[in-house]
A and B are shown apart, each in its own frame.
Chain A
Amino acid sequence: MAVKAKHQRLVLVVIALVAILGAGALAAWALRSQASYFYVPSEIAAKPPEPDRAVRLGGMVERGSLKTEADGVTIAFVVGDGKARVPVRFKGITPSLFVEGSGVVAEGRMGADGTFNADNLLAKHDERYVPREMKDMTAAQARETVKETQ
């Protein structure tokens, strides 16, 4: 009798857990676009936001695209996600990790000329952690070193 009650409780708790997890997964799925912190360039290209709406644009700063304009303060660069590219203009102080070939999130508005006017830049870094001394080696050397230390 006691064993039966225990099984009944177990079944009830498992059913409740499955229901809660299902509800959570459903909510996360429904939120998948709203909960995103930024749009990637291909989303901006497919569905451009209204010119005056504040949005965030995130992607990689394309190598070789970073230029300082004639006034010496404004910078221009291109953010890409491999499928689309959006030119960005920004005037202000950039975070210390803002470099070409790395991730960036720009807060601002889409201009009528197709350029994104950023009010603020955030640097986004990736999941790789590489010691500074190893960066100057060639990729093959770095792999050797990693292998040796493992």
Chain B
Amino acid sequence: MHGFANPARFLRIARWLTPLLLLSGIVLSAGSLAWGLWRAPAESLQGETVRILFIHVPTAWLGMAGWSAIAVASLVELVWRHPLAGIAARASALPGAVYTAMCLISGSLWGRPAWGTWWVWDGRLTSMLVLLFLYFGYMALAQASENAGQSRVAAIFGLVGAVNIPIIHYSVLWWNSLHQPPSISVGNSAMAPDFLIPLLVATVGFSLIFGGVVLTRMRTILADAQAEARLRRKAQATEGQA
């Protein structure tokens, strides 16, 4: 495991993996979205509106997966003091927040024609909005503690905030909500293959883009740290000479 702790080794892999993830993700999501927009059938009750599914579900999954990644990376950072884990956690925050916001916006655009309202304060919608604010809080903490040179606070916040993820998932089962229960569970689908297959492709595509953005941001953080360290060494060296 500590083999990946070496930034040089990580960078060697990330250099070719980043464009590969981004490009394959863009191809898959563009294809499945075009399919969802023009080829997928209308739904028997909802009609054409169902096409928002192909944006809404992948972004919802990644909004939740993003925080799960932050929580796992924070755990590794706290317990094993793995240097890349903290960087990975920080790198997941922005794409996670962007996808959560896109999930809320697409859900609102779906709710208006399907339910007759832009927004309700039911369990699912409220817990998803809480997730967006958790992301904002995490990004602020990570930014602040980065300057102070310690990231323990952000990692603890990342772990504690993970309690919201099962709440989001089970909100539609625990409480009466306007949002319907999940259509897909392990080995079981209430969704016809005409919707399910393009949805799965879109989810894979969006996830590849997510992975590519995480790698991009990890490389940014590493490059900034390396440049800063080098400048500091040089400043000390010139001071020593004078």
Contact = CB atoms under 8 A, between A and B. Distances in A.
- A and B touching (C-beta < 8 Å)? yes
Interface of A: 6, 9-10, 13, 16-17, 20-21, 23-24, 28, 31-32, 35-40, 58, 94-99, 102, 105, 121-135, 146, 149-150
Contacts of A122: 115-117, 120, 178
B190 A95 contact: no
A134 B43 CA distance: 9
A92 to B, nearest CB: 11
A80 B159 CA distance: 42
Nearest to B78: A13
Nearest to B74: A13
Interface residues of B, number: 47
Given A37-B123, A96-B113, A132 B43 contact: yes
Contacts of B241: none
A146 B193 contact: yes
Contacts of A129: 43, 50, 53, 183, 190-192, 195-196
A132 B178 contact: no
B181 to A, nearest CB: 5
Interface of B: 41-47, 50, 53, 75, 78-81, 113-117, 120-123, 159-160, 163-164, 166-167, 170-171, 174-178, 180-183, 190-196
A98 B45 CA distance: 10
A16 B176 CA distance: 30
B201 to A, nearest CB: 15
A105 B120 CA distance: 11
B109 to A, nearest CB: 15
Contact of B176 (A10, A38, A94): A38
B78 A146 contact: no
Given A36-B175, A97-B114, A124 B180 contact: yes
B115 A124 contact: yes
